Amino acid sequence: MSKLKVIDLFCGAGGLSLGFENAGFDILLGIDNDAKALETFELNHKGAKSICGDITQITYKENIKPIIGDANIDVIIGGPPCQGMSLSGPRKFDDPRNKLYLSYIRLVDEIRPKAFVIENVPGLVGLFGGQIKDSIIQKFSDMGYKIEYKILCAADYGVPQMRKRVVFVGYKKGKFEFVK
């Protein structure tokens, strides 16, 4: 069986991609606006390509397809910036980075992968009375995805830190359950 092909939005140095690669996925592409982080991404993921740019301006047809060719994208992963939603430090509700998750949703809509994974700060779940969480779920549901989400603690999965993240998993077929 061939490996599922993945692109990573907001990839940074490629930590999330590394987890997926270690789990047997094929990382095709990382997208970020930090050129130095992308240098590290490419060193961590030999054979993967990268795009450095403003994700709000990147489209599948104009930017991604010319780089990956006819490869099917099975899974999209990513962690949109979350500084304005974090419970650590001052929340800035008007921080423009708070809306970058909309570019993630737009690219999923353009590409229509079999599945996607978004990780973010747990504060996103209750922000604005849960409106952002509800909007994320509704937009993906309207595209035909089933959505599961859960707040996870890294320490519960063997990572030596007490870092909590909310993880959304969307999929079209089958069933998904978070590991307990």
pLDDT for 68-113, tens place per residue? 999 999 999 999 986 655 555 565 656 656 678 999 999 999 999 9
pLDDT for 54-66, tens place per residue? 999 999 999 999 9
Using alpha carbons only, give the angle 129, 177, 123 rounded to the nearest 5 degrees.
25
Catalytic residues: 82
pLDDT for 12-26, tens place per residue? 999 999 999 999 999
Which residues, other chains included, contact 66 with Cβ-Cβ below 8 Å and sequence gap of 6+? Answer: none
Domains of the chain: 5-170 (3.40.50.150)
Q: What local confidence, expressed as pLDDT, does residue 99 receive?
A: 79
Residue 132 pLDDT > 70:
yes
The reply to whether the predicted model has a pTM over 0.85 is yes
Q: Where are the beta strands (DSSP E) in 10-93?
A: 26-32, 49-52, 75-78
